[in-house]
Chains A and B, each alone.
Chain A
Amino acid sequence: MSISKQVESKANPTSLSEPRWVRWLLITLALAFIALFLLVPLGVVLTTALRKGFDYYLIAITRHDALRAVGLTLLTALVAVPLNALFGIAAAWVVTKFNFPGKQFLVTLIDLPFSVSPVIAGLIFVLLFGARGLLGPWLLAEGWKIIFATPGIILATTFVTFPFVARDLIPVMQAGGSEEEEAALVLGASGWQTFWRVTLPKIKWGLLYGMILCNARAMGEFGAVSVVSGHIRGRTNTLPLHVEILYNEYDFAGAFAVASLLVLLALVTLVAKSIAERRLEVGRHRRLSRGDREFSPAGRLADEQQEAVQDE
Chain B
Amino acid sequence: MSVQISGLNKRFGSFQALHEIDLTIETGELVALLGPSGSGKTTLLRIIAGLEGADSGAIQFYGEDATARAARDRGIGFVFQHYALFRHMTVFENVAFGLRVRPRKTRPAKDEIARRVHELLSLVQLDWASNRYPDQLSGGQRQRIALARALATEPKVLLLDEPFGALDAKVRQELRQWLRRFHDEVGVTTIFVTHDQEEALEVADRVVIMNQGRIEQVGTADQVYEQPANPFVFSFLGNVNLFHGRVQDGQARIGSLELKAPEHLAEEGLPVVAYARPHELEVETTPVETCTIEGVLRHANPVGRVVRLELQRIDNDELILAEVPKERWRELGVKVGDIVFCRPRNLQLFAADWAF
Contacts and interface: CB of A to CB of B under 8 A. Distances in A.
Contacts of B125: 311
Given A179-B80, A179-B82, A180-B86, A187 B97 contact: yes
Most chain A CB within 10 A, of B76, B85, B97, is at: B97
Interface in B25-63: 49-51
Nearest to A293: B138
B101 A186 contact: no
Contacts of A201: 86, 88
Nearest to B135: A290
B139 A186 contact: no
B258 to A, nearest CB: 54
Nearest to A186: B78
Interface in A271-312: 286-287, 290, 293-294, 300, 303-304, 307, 310-311
A107 interface: no
A156 B112 CA distance: 53
Secondary structure at the A interface, as helix, strand, loop or mixed, is helix
Contacts of A186: 49-51, 71-72, 74, 76-78, 150
B354 interface: no
Interface string A183-202: 11111111001000110011
B206 interface: no
B173 to A, nearest CB: 13
Contacts of A286: 135
B51 A185 contact: yes
A184 B135 contact: no
Contacts of B138: 293-294, 300, 303-304, 307
B84 interface: yes
Nearest to B159: A186
A303 B137 contact: yes
A183 B128 contact: no
Interface in B223-267: none
Contacts of A8: none
Interface in A12-51: none
Contacts of B80: 179, 182-183
B117 to A, nearest CB: 13
A211 B97 CA distance: 29
Contacts of B139: 294, 300
Interface string B127-158: 01100000101111100000001101100000
A65 B91 CA distance: 56
A188 B70 CA distance: 9
B318 to A, nearest CB: 40
| Interface size bracket, B side | 35 or more
Given A183-B80, A286-B135, A307-B138, A189 B166 contact: no
B102 interface: yes
A193 B84 contact: no
A183 B78 CA distance: 7
Contacts of A304: 138, 140, 171
B184 to A, nearest CB: 20
A285 to B, nearest CB: 11
Interface string B259-289: 0000000000000000000000000000000
B120 to A, nearest CB: 13
B219 interface: no
B101 A197 contact: yes
B141 to A, nearest CB: 6
Nearest to B74: A186
Interface in B67-114: 70-74, 76-78, 80, 82, 84-88, 97-98, 101-102
A189 B72 contact: yes
A139 to B, nearest CB: 42
B296 to A, nearest CB: 42
A69 B16 CA distance: 62
Contacts of A180: 84-87
Contacts of A197: 86, 97, 101
A294 B78 CA distance: 22
Nearest to B134: A290
Most chain A CB within 10 A, of B70, B72, B102, is at: B72
Contacts of A287: 87, 135
Contacts of B84: 179-180, 182-183
A185 B76 CA distance: 11
Nearest to A179: B84
Contacts of B49: 186
A285 B287 CA distance: 67
Contacts of B85: 180, 183
Contact of A187 (B82, B128, B153): B153
A188 B86 contact: no
B137 to A, nearest CB: 7
A202 B87 CA distance: 8
A187 B51 contact: no
Nearest to A301: B138
B102 A198 contact: no
B101 A294 contact: no
Contacts of A182: 51, 71, 78, 80, 84
Contact of B71 (A185, A202, A310, A311): A185
B142 to A, nearest CB: 9
Interface in A46-91: none
Contacts of A293: 138
Nearest to A202: B88
B101 A184 contact: yes
Contacts of B87: 180, 202, 287
B51 A189 contact: no
Nearest to A198: B86
Nearest to A182: B51
13 contacts: A182-B71, A183-B78, A183-B85, A183-B149, A185-B51, A186-B77, A187-B101, A188-B73, A197-B97, A198-B86, A201-B88, A287-B87, A293-B138
Given A184-B86, A294-B138, 18 more contacts: A179-B82, A183-B80, A183-B85, A187-B97, A187-B98, A188-B72, A190-B101, A197-B101, A198-B86, A201-B86, A202-B88, A286-B135, A287-B135, A290-B135, A303-B141, A304-B138, A304-B171, A307-B140
